[in-house]
Amino acid sequence: MLPVVASFYPVQFLAERVGGDRVSVTNLTPPGSEPHDLALDGQSMAALADAKVVLYLGESFQPDVEKAVADATDAVRRDLLTAPGVDVLPAPADLGKESLAGGGDPHVWLDPVRMKAMASAVADAYTEADPANADAYRSNLAALQRDLDALDADLRADLTGCAQTTIVTSHAAFAYLADRYGLRQVAIAGLSPDAEPDAQTLAEITDTARAAGVTTVFFEEALTPDTAQTVASAIGAKIDLLAALEFDPREALGPGQEYLSVMGDNGDRLYAGLGCP
């Protein structure tokens, strides 16, 4: 099998779906680790040394990974942020430590259309490293892209004509989802999931949410819901989960969960929380 290294869960998902049973994928980000703060250990360095394909997000999203990837000269390397069709949105004014080196928002994987573009780049990398199995990789890619098209269509249908278009979230991870489906993100914290808003910022967000008629405040699966609950209680709203998928969802959300199922659940929760028809 082709040894492949993926930098964190969304890249791992693409790597496994496109590669199928012809690849062995190692995720560099251990369970429970924050991807941006990842420090590579000896086991990870050994996996990189053995890899024939290395897949990651660049622009200093994971600085330690990028430094190590630069030394993996025997592997086919792909920065999926550079894939055609992956246009990077600017990060919010409160950039936080998760912003990209060029001031962009890294959360591209929360848009199924951009995921399709990144999947194509994965297939290209596999074909370069293992041309004998190119047809299999292209077949797997086509199946994955059909699934992503179906997800996109479902989200578009669910999130059209909603009574509200403002999503208040605990972490500014959902700009790509909001941009794709005509929504507006208001984040309680910045791009960094562990950033805490000051009292003035919290009051401003509460006022914005109240003025927009928000009835649900969303929190992320890896974070405590306390701050989201504070805003929700102040405006008489409820809270609900919106998964950012930075981590393998099987850890936080249970066995059998994966990118497509969790994104579908995100759509269902937004549908209910935004009063969609």
CATH number at residue 76: 3.40.50.1980
Q: How many other CB atoms are found less than 10 A from the CB of residue 30?
A: 12
Query: Burial, 251: exposed, middle or buried (Cβ in 10 Å; 0-12, 13-18, 19+)?
Result: middle
User: Which one, of 218, 221, 217, 216, lies nearest residue 254 by Cα?
Assistant: 221
Structure tokens at 163: 């009574």
Give, in degrees to the nearest 5, the angle at Cα 102 between 98 and 107.
40
Structure tokens at 260: 């497509």
Q: Mark which of 133, 154, 175 sits at the end of a domain.
A: 154
Q: What is the pLDDT along the chain (277 residues), one digit of tens a residue?
A: 999 999 999 999 999 999 999 999 999 998 878 888 889 999 999 999 999 999 999 988 899 999 999 888 899 999 999 999 999 999 876 545 667 877 899 999 999 999 999 999 999 999 999 999 999 999 999 999 999 999 999 999 999 999 999 999 988 899 999 999 999 999 887 645 556 677 888 888 899 899 989 999 999 887 788 889 999 999 999 999 999 999 889 877 788 899 999 999 999 999 999 999 9
Structure tokens at 42: 């000896």
User: Which one, of 23, 73, 64, lies nearest residue 44 by Cα?
Assistant: 64
Q: Mark which of 128, 154, 180 sits at the end of a domain.
A: 154
Same domain, 102 and 48: yes
How many domains does the chain fold into? 2
Same domain, 65 and 140: yes
Range(s) of the domain holding residue 183: 158-273
User: Which one, of 108, 145, 148, 107, lies nearest residue 123 by Cα?
Assistant: 145
φ, ψ of residue 154 in degrees (nearest 5): -65, -45
Same domain, 6 and 111: yes
